[in-house]
Structures are given as structure tokens and as C-alpha cells.
């Protein structure tokens, strides 16, 4: 119950007392947040025994311009609370005949949201930090692990010293023990947020490093552990995390960092191509 009250306190921007009818809505959200997050104003009103207009006024009383804005905030708040079982229940509600289109449209919408909300200034700060770092540390665990591996793979080709944290048998703190003020730590974490990634981000910050966070929004705990934070929308259509927008953001970061070293990388990639051809790393004309 205390956790539910904390949820409502964070949702209530104005912090003002609620009317009797509004309290009924608040109580329903607190007890059924996994269902409320996907309800329309009319559906929520019916579930609470109030009118749709009462739900809309409830959103206004909390300090939102309308119900959609409140619902978006609620979605950000509860995504980290949803269990695997609750996530699967959301997926089960999708019409199997429309599943493919639903998932792909959801990914498209996430990328569109990311483009609209992303700060160009923060993006450029992140690129400058990456290209100016003595050593780069990249960390992402669980569902974020493929993102970290993808970023490491390409940063390793354009930067001299890159470390992928948390993917060896060595303790993660041993991997970042030598981190310092000339280094950059990139922490990638999306709901449900990894406590290990957050702890390492804080450790890196205490060591004087610049910490770049990649996460889903301002409600994320990653925001408070970062010097520079870039957000990518990851609203999911089911129990599988939507990583299309985060991957596109990483793609943009790596490309921007690479283009800042254009002449150097041109020569580097020429040498790599000779090595790859000599060892038949890729299928070429001789393999056809």
C-alpha cells in the first residue's frame, strides 16, 4: 500500500487534496495500475463508477493538460513495476491477427516520439564526451545487453580504448576500478531497470568520470545517476522490450562520433578491409 501511495504522490504534480470522486479514481489506479495504464478515460470512469468527464477533471486536478498526458506519465511510472506475468497479460490482449502490425507500429511510434523529444544539445554533449574520452566504458545488462554489445562493437572500431562492462567472469567493480576523470561511462538501462548498472554508474561518477545515461524518460532512475542523459521511447506492445528507438539512438551516437574522426577512420577502415579480405572474414567475390 505504501508503494501505491508513492506512485500517486509522484503522479500528483500539484500535491493538492482530491475530492471524494477523484479519490475513488486514485484508489483504483493505485490498486490496478497494470490495468489502468492501458485504459481510455471512458473505460477508467466505468471501472470506477464515475463519468468520463470526472476522469478528465481528475487529470486536470493533478496538474495535467488532459487525460492522455496523465496516462503517459502513469505509463512511465508503472512500467518498471510490471512483473513478467503482468507484461505477458498485456501481450495476451493483442488480437493475434493484428499482432505483427501492432508491434511494428508500436516501434515506429517509439522512434517518432524519440525524434520529437530528444535534446540536440544533450546529444552533441554526449558525442563530444565520447570522442574526447581517454577510455570508454559501456554497460548494459539483461535486455539492454544486446544494446551494449552493439555499441561496444562499433565504438571499438572508432575509439582506441573501449571496455564492455559486465560481460566477463571478473566482478564489475574490478572492471571499472581504474576509472577516472578523463574517462566516460555509458550506462544503458530501461524498465525494468538494472540495479547493477545503476550502482556502477554511481561508482563511475564518484570516480570523477563523465557518465552518459541511455534510458526511457525523465522518470527513470538513470536520469539522476547521469551527467548527460539521452532518452529513447520503449513503450512495449507486450512482454518483450521494444528496443528499436534505443538502437537507432545508439546508431546515431556512433555515427556522429565516427564522422568527427573522418580522415583517421577512412585509413583505419581501409586497413581493416585488407585484413578481412586476407582472412575471408566476410563472403566476397571469391566465395561466390
pTM for this predicted structure? 0.73
Average pLDDT over residues 241-250: 92
User: Once rounded to an integer, what is the mean pLDDT over residues 36-58?
Assistant: 88
Close Cβ partners of 51 (under 8 Å, ≥ 6 residues apart):
45
230 beta partners: 214
State the angle between helix axes of 20-31 and 52-61 in degrees (0 to 180), rounded to the nearest 10: 90
How does the average pLDDT of the chain come out, rounded? 84
Per-residue confidence (pLDDT) for residue 32, from 0 to 100: 83
Q: What are phi and psi of 191, to 5 degrees?
A: -55, 135
Burial class (CB in 10 A: 0-12, 13-18, 19+), 157: middle
pLDDT category at 288 given cuts 50, 70, 90 is very low
Cis link prior to 192 (omega < 30° from 0)?
A: yes
**The pLDDT of residue 150:** 96
Which pLDDT tens digit goes with each residue over 127-143?
A: 999 999 999 999 999 88
Predicted confidence band at 251 (pLDDT cuts at 50, 70, 90)?
very high
Q: What is the pLDDT of residue 267?
A: 82
pLDDT of residue 83: 62
Classify residue 169 by its DSSP letter: S
Residue 1 has a pLDDT of 36
Is 249 within 8 Å of 114 (Cβ atoms)?
Answer: yes
Mean pLDDT of 76-83: 65
What is the reported pLDDT for 118?
Answer: 92
Binned at pLDDT 50, 70 and 90, residue 70 comes out as: confident
Q: Residue 28 in contact with residue 34, Cβ under 8 Å?
A: no
pLDDT tens for residues 179-223? 999 999 999 998 878 999 999 999 999 999 999 999 988 778 899
* pLDDT score for 204: 95
pLDDT at 4 over 90: no
Amino acid at each position: 500500500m505504501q508503494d501505491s501511495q508513492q506512485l500517486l504522490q509522484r503522479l500528483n504534480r500539484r500535491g493538492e487534496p482530491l475530492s471524494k470522486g477523484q479519490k475513488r479514481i486514485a484508489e483504483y489506479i493505485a490498486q490496478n495500475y497494470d490495468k489502468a495504464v492501458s485504459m481510455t478515460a471512458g473505460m477508467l470512469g466505468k471501472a470506477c463508477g464515475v463519468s468520463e468527464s470526472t476522469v478528465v477533471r481528475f487529470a486536470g486536478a493533478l496538474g495535467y493538460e488532459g487525460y492522455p498526458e496523465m496516462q503517459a506519465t502513469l505509463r512511465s511510472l508503472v512500467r518498471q513495476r510490471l512483473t513478467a506475468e503482468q507484461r505477458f497479460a498485456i501481450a495476451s490482449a493483442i488480437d493475434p491477427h493484428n499482432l505483427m502490425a501492432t508491434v511494428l507500429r508500436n516501434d515506429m511510434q517509439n522512434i517518432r516520439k524519440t525524434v520529437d523529444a530528444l535534446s540536440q544539445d544533450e546529444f552533441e554533449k554526449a558525442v563530444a564526451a565520447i570522442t574526447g574520452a581517454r577510455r570508454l566504458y559501456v554497460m548494459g545488462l539483461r535486455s539492454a545487453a544486446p544494446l551494449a554489445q552493439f555499441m561496444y562493437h562499433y565504438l571499438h572500431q572508432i575509439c582506441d580504448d573501449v571496455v564492455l562492462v559486465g560481460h566477463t567472469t571478473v566482478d564489475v567493480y574490478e572492471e571499472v576500478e581504474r576509472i577516472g576523470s578523463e574517462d566516460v561511462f555509458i550506462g544503458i538501462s530501461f524498465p525494468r531497470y538494472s540495479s547493477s548498472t545503476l550502482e556502477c554508474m554511481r561508482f563511475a561518477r564518484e570516480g570523477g568520470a563523465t557518465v552518459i545515461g541511455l534510458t526511457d524518460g525523465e522518470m527513470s532512475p538513470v536520469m539522476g545517476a547521469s551527467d548527460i542523459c539521452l532518452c529513447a521511447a520503449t513503450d512495449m506492445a507486450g512482454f518483450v522490450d521494444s528496443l528499436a528507438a534505443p538502437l537507432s539512438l545508439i546508431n546515431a551516437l556512433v555515427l556522429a562520433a565516427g564522422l568527427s574522426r573522418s580522415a583517421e577512420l577512412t585509413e583505419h577502415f581501409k586497413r581493416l578491409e585488407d585484413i578481412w579480405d586476407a582472412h575471408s572474414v566476410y563472403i566476397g567475390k571469391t566465395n561466390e
